[in-house]
Amino acid sequence: MKILIIEDENELADSISEYLSEENYLCEFARTYNQALEKIESFHYDCILLDIMLPDGNGMNILEELKRQDKQDGVIIISAKNALDDKIKGLQIGADDYLTKPFHLSELAARIYSVIRRKQFGNSNTVRQNELEIDLLAKTISVHNQPVILTKKEFDLLLYFVGNKNRVISKSTLAEHLSGDFADMLDNHDFVYAHIKNLKKKLSEAGCESYLKTVYGTGYKWEG
């Protein structure tokens, strides 16, 4: 799962990233308003942490831009401002949650999980598709009630596919999801193919139906 941290306080941003990385999130940074605009225009994120008080612009305008582009990224406002009007305005524009500084990183992680679960998995801690069961909290999967061991990348891929079921997803989009900014620096996306091949093999060997389909010349689609 990919997180964008829009925060100009470097120490706080680094602390958030360090904590979330331990929770298996891939974190990217935008330290200014203009960097944030570039990021949201170019990439998709599972959740955006948005400081509304940026040195070169108002974070509320970033919310407006997300809405204008009809983007579905989850958004949690993190702000030192505890004004009720700001909370109401942010939530009305399209933020999913509002957290006032200072906060515990464990609470932030819980809120991120809640936003992603609500937006992508119907507010459930467990995702089931016939013989396949995914425990979002434990980050484990089972097929026919038997555990299947996946790497972090394979689990992240599986969640991404299931959260976007019946949509064709290109290799470049998958590369960006797995590697973030570094995807643009890669000569090819063979690593995406390798992860998908391993994921499909493990699911098949466990007796899972072939839900993940290759759309030749385009990408992949999870059918369900």
Each of the 224 residues of the chain gets a pLDDT tens digit; together they read 899 999 999 999 999 999 999 988 999 999 999 999 999 998 889 999 999 889 898 989 999 999 898 888 999 999 887 777 888 888 888 899 999 888 999 999 999 999 998 888 887 889 999 999 999 988 999 999 999 999 988 999 999 999 889 999 988 888 888 876 554 545 567 888 899 999 999 999 999 999 999 998 889 999 98
Distance between CA 224 and CA 216 in Å, rounded? 19
Please give the pLDDT value at position 184. 53
Q: Measured in whole angstroms, how far is the alpha carbon of residue 21 from the centre of its chain?
A: 12
Walk me through the domains of the chain, giving residue ranges and CATH numbers: 2-121 (3.40.50.2300), 126-222 (1.10.10.10)
Distance between CA 152 and CA 24 in Å, rounded? 7
Please give the pLDDT value at position 179. 76
- Bond prior to 55 in cis (omega within 30° of 0): no
Angle between helices 171-179 and 152-163 (to 10 degrees): 130
DSSP-assigned letter for residue 149: -
Please give the pLDDT value at position 77. 94
CA dihedral of 201, 205, 211, 216, whole degrees rounded to 10: 30
What's the one-letter identity of residue 154? E
Please give the pLDDT value at position 180. 66
Task: Select from 95, 202, 190 the least CA-distant residue to 158.
Answer: 202
Q: How many CA atoms lie within 13 A of 140 on its CB side?
A: 7
Helix (H) or strand (E) holding 50: strand 47-50
Please give the pLDDT value at position 86. 82
